[in-house]
Amino acid sequence: MPFESGQVPQGEARKRIVMQYYPYLLVFVVFDVVGMFLFAWGMSFANIPASDSFLVLLFLILLGAPLGYALKMALKRENW
Amino acid sequence: MVSLPTTPAELLPFIIAVVTSHTFITLVFFPGFIHLTIVVMFLTWYERKLLARIQLRIGPLYAGGPGGILQPIADGVKLIFKEVMIPYKADKPLFLGIPLALVFLGALPFAVIPFGQHWVIANLDVGLVFVFAVGSLFPSMILIFAWASNSKYPFLGGLRSLFQQVAYEIPMWISALSVVMLAGSLNLVQIVDAQERIWFIGPAFLSFIVFFIASMAELERLPFDLPSAEPELVAGWFTESSGAIFMVIFLALYMKVYLMSCLITVLFMGGWWGPAFLPQPIWFLLKALVVATFIIIPRGVYPRLRVDLLIKLGWTRLLIIALANVFITVVLLSTGVLSAWGL
């Protein structure tokens, strides 16, 4: 199907298609939730004590390692 | 609030009270329907003229009445009288209904956009979340429309639209997060109020860049217009739309262009604030026009990105820059250089 682009299409239109970039989709699902909680934190940033904000920042920094691994796997062409 | 009429004599005063009420005026005239329709027609004209000047296109530069003002009306009349073709075996209710849903979703966020201190339809406490929530429904709607039109090019375009959402959405949220932290609120009116002294484009400049690029991707404008890439996919996800359906889809797309320029104005450019010699809504419209110009210009200048490069850009560049700006904001706020609520 990708090779058909630009030519006259053949056969059924509604058939199964391979969802590419699966690692990115997985990371997206995870960061969706993280982003939601970050908004709750960012809105009340001025009201909560600095130690609580420190924990959130620590969590973000710790999240960097799995994110880096996931992106490393996602950039590999055989995982698309 | 106006009490409901009980006798026929009270009917006329009731109607007058409703028509002159602030809610009615904001809903119908200024930030509401009439203003939106005029701005969308203006944007089609403006984009054509701008691109014609950039690329020296002779046709759009000289066609259509005085300065080409009549061209949007001519387009509208032409598209209304064209035949609506529905593809063989297409899902009819979805095929006809989704364009209307797109227009509805495009117009809905304007309810919370403040065009002036009192020029807002709904002063919602979670306005920013509301705008993001409505905006993130678009790619799913596009995919449903693409599936309903029973054709291969639209389906590929719809899938690309979904991948594009994966690429831009998280960087967009995270870049808006530093603005939310600086303003201490999700209410768009309070966010603009907090920018009376300093526009957030200053302390959150990196966020501004990320948000601008992400909104270009959300709008499917040219460096990122993969879902409607003409050389590969005919017209992308709206290949099978024709006549009035095509017009309705374009209305929704241009409403979104205006929506994103309004949102950038609200979040980063200080909203309605400006020197007092012009009224607040005029300042807002001027700023939104400037942002819309910068959204339109790349269409005449840049080539198109690949899907995998776009996703890579979103996750390895934009997300990191947006997170860096969150850390900068934390440092600025906690060292007392800036304070939340009003700086």
Cβ–Cβ of A38/B174 closer than 8 Å?
Answer: yes
Cβ–Cβ of A35/B173 closer than 8 Å?
Answer: yes
Write down the pTM of the prediction.
Answer: 0.89
Apex A52 CA angle, A49 and A58, nearest 5: 140
CA end-to-end span of chain B: 36
Q: Is residue B290 scored above 90 in pLDDT? A: yes
Contact call for residues B158 and B249 (beta carbons, < 8 A): no
The nearest alpha carbon in chain B to A2 belongs to: B156
- Write down the H helix ranges in chain B: 11-19, 22-28, 33-55, 58-62, 71-81, 92-107, 127-135, 138-148, 152-183, 188-193, 205-219, 230-233, 244-267, 280-301, 307-312, 319-334
The full set of domain ranges for chain B reads 89-334
CA nearest neighbour of B248 among B107, B116, B112? B107
The full set of domain ranges for chain A reads 18-79
How far apart CA B117 and CA B189 sit, in angstroms, is 7
Q: What is the mean pLDDT of residues B50-70?
A: 82
How far apart CA B144 and CA B296 sit, in angstroms, is 27
pLDDT band (50, 70, 90) for residue B161: confident
Q: Which pLDDT value is given to residue B343?
A: 47
Q: Is residue A4 scored above 70 in pLDDT? A: no
Cβ–Cβ of B341/A21 closer than 8 Å?
Answer: no
Q: Which pLDDT value is given to residue B342?
A: 45
ipTM of the prediction greater than 0.95, yes or no: no
Choose among B147, B180, B333: nearest Cβ to A39.
Answer: B180
